[in-house]
Amino acid sequence: MFNVGDYIVYGTSGVCKVEEVTTMDMEGVPKDRLYYILKPVYISKSTIMTPVDNTKVVMRSVMTREEVDDLIDDMEGVETESINDDKKRGEKCKSVLASCESRELVRMIKSLYNRNQRRLAQGKKLTSGDERYFHMAEDSLYGEMAITLNIDRSEVPGYISRRIGGKTEALC
């Protein structure tokens, strides 16, 4: 169970702060069932109420600093995937985003970046779906890293670059 003040990853909502652990005073809701009141860090004016025992949405602690640094150190070795079918690629991206698995987000970012570079080299435009999923994965991954590292989300790419000795292609 998470405690008030903890930062957690909550599904596709990203990083949230646990504001309260409480019961609900509503008819039809068991009086002893506990709920988290979550405040998404990067979605202003939003509040989420979810049962503590919710198994439908991924809820996990944010990475530790050691886990962030280990993930960055391993980025170059993360293999990419090439899914040519737009529908299958979109389904895979949705699945990865819902899983909240940091390593899979890295794989997705690298894979979409490589695909976009190939398309640009062929004189083709980027697909709107690929661009959207790329930015969603970056926002999710960088948002979590920023909370852990206590920096602004916009500073994460620079942190990654410094960590891997200036090799900016590690994530791409």
Residue 82 CA, distance from chain mean position: 21
Task: Yes or no: say if 36 and 50 are a contact pair by the CB < 8 Å rule.
Answer: yes
| Total domains, the chain | 2
Distance CA 80, CA 108 (A): 7
- The residue segments making up the domain with residue 147 are 63-171
pTM for this model (two decimals)? 0.89
What pLDDT, on a 0 to 100 scale, did the predictor assign at position 32?
Answer: 81
CA distance 22 to 62: 22
Give residue-wise pLDDT tens across range 6-51.
999 999 999 999 999 998 877 777 778 899 999 999 998 999 999 9
Helical (H) or strand (E) element with 59: strand 59-61
Residue 99 lies in a domain: yes
Residues 110-160 pLDDT 10s: 999 999 999 999 999 889 999 999 999 999 999 999 999 999 999 999 999
Q: What is the mean pLDDT of the chain?
A: 92
Last residue of a domain, one of 60, 77, 98: 60
